[in-house]
Amino acid sequence: MAKEEIKLMAEPREADGSKAAGRLRRSGLIPAAINRIGGDTTLVKFDAHTFENILRHHTSEHFIVTIVLDGAEIPVLLKEVQHDVISGKPIHVDFVEIALDEKINVSIPIVLLGEPVGVRTGGGMLEHSLREIEVACLPGDVVEQFDVDTSGLDLGESLFVGDMKLGVEYTVYTSEDTPVATVINPAAAAEAAEARSEGAALEEDEEETSEDAKAGE
């Protein structure tokens, strides 16, 4: 599950603002910002195609990158990627500089493996309740995902955060009582969905009645 070191060649950028960022994107570059340990911010730019290839090979958008800038290597956590609402392409990236010997807080995706016995023999449905888990660990221990085996879950049973064996490297901040996955009865799920739909319809009717009453005042 561990990942190889990712290096990204970057150049400094002077101009900030939407017009300058737009010119960079049209020239095949992505504007980015590095929040430094000392509190200041370094503005950089890098090749869009290279960065898109990096994203395609990762489940999460939160991983460790080494930014190579003016001959210096800066270890950073990829914090946020802003995407174009139409094309979906990245248009801006935020990084946070990290110290390799200090723990960082990170969200790591949870991937469910195996077919639960409750699905295989009981006709149940596997519900994936928690997609990411919040942990603290050293940068070298950041992984692409946590794989969770659900094959032992029977109908009506749940797997909780407290059931995940992540190792001493990780301090878990997500509540251990949070369900990760549950094998549910399809009939019960359908009833719950119908109840939610009826509740939403009732709430909408109440809002319309309230608006009609206000209009008549």
Residue 197 has phi, psi (to 5 degrees) of: -65, -45
pLDDT of the residue at 1 = 41
Tell me: pLDDT of 87 over 60.
yes
Residue 130: name the closest of 162, 99, 161, 102 by CA. Answer: 161
Q: 133-171 burial string, b = 16+ CB within 10 Å, else e?
A: bebebebebbbbebebebeebebebbbbbeebebeeebe
- pLDDT mean over 8-32: 89
pLDDT of the residue at 44 = 96
Name the band, by pLDDT with cuts 50, 70 and 90, for residue 192.
low
Using CA atoms, how far residue 110 sits from 44, 116, 156, 161, in Å, is 31, 16, 20, 10
Residue ranges of domains in the chain: 7-98, 105-184
Q: In whole angstroms, what is the distance from residue 13 CA to residue 20 CA?
A: 10
- Return the minimum-mean-pLDDT range out of 38-52, 61-75, 160-174, 202-216: 202-216
More confident residue, 196 or 7: 7
pLDDT of the residue at 169 = 94
Quickly name the fold that domain 105-184 has: RNA Polymerase Alpha Subunit; Chain A, domain 2 (2.170.120)
Can you read off the two tokens belonging to residue 20? 């300058």
pLDDT of the residue at 216 = 57
Q: In whole angstroms, what is the distance from residue 92 CA to residue 145 CA?
A: 24
**7-98: which CATH number, 3.40.50.1370, 2.40.240.10, 2.60.40.10, 2.40.160.210?**
2.40.240.10
